[in-house]
Structure 1
Amino acid sequence: MNWFKSLFAKRIKQPEDSMKKYLIAGLGNIGAEYVNTRHNIGFKILDRLAGQENADFKTAKLGTVAELKIKGRTVFLLKPNTYMNLSGKAVKYWLEQEKIPIENLLVVTDDLNLSFGTIRIKGKGSDGGHNGLKSIQQLLNTSDYPRFRFGISDAFKKGQQVNYVLGEWDEEEKATLPERLDVSAEAIKSFVLSGIANTMSSFNGK
């Protein structure tokens, strides 16, 4: 009967174990020409967090993935290789593959409506015209998932939005970016350890 008890124990622990798993999806476009563009801030923030935790990204299905542990929680950092407009394919696959509850998903993306470097974390919301978020909402069939928006400002002339988001940071932004990346990495760790409400209180607008 011991084997039965052991099997039963594993089954009842499974939901608890899944609650300790997190998916942090940083949005961006693959390719050398996009590496330092504003639209790729999601990739850059995940790179900073992975560097702090000595985690390496490895090529996997629909993206590159780094796995790390934060005080007993398993955290998957996902950079989709589907290009921005199809981000939902990768996010949906990894949520299902690792059986991660949607409340443990955090999508990191750029936002034109926030001043440069401003952080805004929310538990749900519209896609705001962002193609990456639009794809995720369509594939998950809900807009009720946590998201981390990093301000890139809207300092572009009429008709230049695409060139602006796919353009590289200016010199002033480059000087400030490292500190903003560090704060962003701390915000993600807070989300994992303290939950979204505490993280919103601590980091929104910072």
Structure 2
Amino acid sequence: MKKIAIILSGCGVFDGAEIHESVLTMLHLEQLGASYQCFAPNIQQHHVINHLTGEELQQQRNVLEESARIARGNIKELSQLNSNDFDALVLPGGFGVAKNLSNFAFEGAKSQILDQLKHVCQAFAQQQKPIAYLCIAPALIGHIHPHGTLASIGNDEQTAAVINQLGAQHVECDVENIVLDSIHKVISTPAYMLAESISEASVGIHKALKALVEMA
């Protein structure tokens, strides 16, 4: 059975991991006959958003504790993730990727990513183990993989241009498809960058994870 690590970035599309994408990731991996373990960094969120009103709340939340909501408590600190123990890696999207795992949401082409995350992802890459990036997570690819690695967040020209500036090579992709860099073993799919329903997001995510498991 293939063992897959999942890195979450909180709980909720506007300040953490996209919940539908995260749950679909777990569901499809299980249906594909793989096992998974969730991880998240033990850090404070950048901020907390009221998902009903869109307003920022004056409170603090912890990324690991919030991610545990999605993982039903079965989650470990990112610092415990050892690439030797897994066959592949998945990063669901959500603004937590661009606010907590990196500062892409604020700095764009000048963004940096969490050192711990970079170390873990590069360890998988160096061992030639595949990584799937969903939704906005492909914005991290230029920080982790060699210059020119293929990536897609769909078809948003402005975001695509920034991804290119960061060193990846953006490829347009519709919601139900994937972009596969077979040389660097990197898979991306737009998911909720384009999806207008959970079933639309599900199609591309399933294809990405099927490719991930087959490549692992």
Pairwise same-fold verdict (TM > 0.5): no
Name the structure, 1 or 2, with higher relative contact order (CA <8 Å, separation 6+). 1
Bigger radius of gyration, 1 or 2? 1
Question: Greater helix percent: which structure?
Answer: 1
TM-score, normalised to structure 2's length? 0.38
TM-score, normalising length from structure 1? 0.40
